[in-house]
Amino acid sequence: MTQGADTGLKRDNLALLRKLGVIALLMFGFGYALVPLYKHICEALGINVLSLSERQAGAGPARSAAANTQVDASRTVTIEFDANARGPFSFRPEVASLQVHPGEVATVVYEFRNEQDRPLAAQAIPSYAPKQATAHFNKIECFCFNEYTLQPGEVRRWPVVFIVDPKLPRDVRTITLSYTFFEVGGKGLPAAAAATSLEPRS
């Protein structure tokens, strides 16, 4: 290879190297600018997806309290828990009541015990009082969604995760959540619970 050809090849390699360096710098700059760009897009579209720690950084208690604008902190609602066992088992909530703000996520745990010496299939039917609260009591997780089979003497604890809709009428200050647990294939579902099961609520 002649010296001129060798010099031309080096010049081409240097030109390619410069182009690759420029591309790498552009890619780094784009990645660096992506986070603030993403924040601006979210703010423009009204999407709040930043982490809680980032939202609270440099902000006092006022900003922290406003992090979840769906929670109505101006009032509390008392949720009373009731449990009725229709069969050879025990069934109870771990607490009798909770104070919640409308819009916040709350959890209560129920304990179920099969007191028979045989497997037992059972299911729960919920009901609500007063009736106008039914449409505003939203369960995220509930054992009442399924039928369960428990072995002799078996004990289980199940959570109910729920939210009271902030649109709940302000004159409703107490909601009673009542469950009737009945043996599937046993004596049958009581008439009151059967009527409740026809309501369009889970």
Each residue's pLDDT expressed in tens, for the chain with a length of 202 residues: 566 666 777 787 888 888 887 887 777 666 656 556 555 555 555 444 433 333 333 443 333 333 445 899 999 999 999 998 877 788 899 999 999 999 999 999 999 999 888 898 888 999 999 999 999 999 999 988 889 898 999 999 999 999 999 999 999 999 999 999 888 875 444 433 333 333 334 4
CB neighbours of residue 125 within 10 Å: 22
Other Cβ atoms closer than 10 A to 134: 16
DSSP one-letter code for 38? H
The CATH fold of domain 77-197: Ctag/Cox11 (Pfam 04442) (2.60.370)
DSSP state of 169: -
Entry pTM = 0.56
| Total length of the chain | 202
Q: Phi and psi (nearest 5°) for 185?
A: 85, 5
- Number of neighbouring beta carbons within 10 Å of residue 81: 20
User: What 3-state DSSP class applies to 136?
Assistant: helix
d(CA 54, CA 33): 18
Asked if residue 130 has a cis previous peptide bond (ω within 30° of 0), the answer is yes
> Token digits for 83?
């449990």
Burial class (CB in 10 A: 0-12, 13-18, 19+), 185: exposed
* H-assigned helices in the chain: 3-45, 52-56, 61-65, 191-197
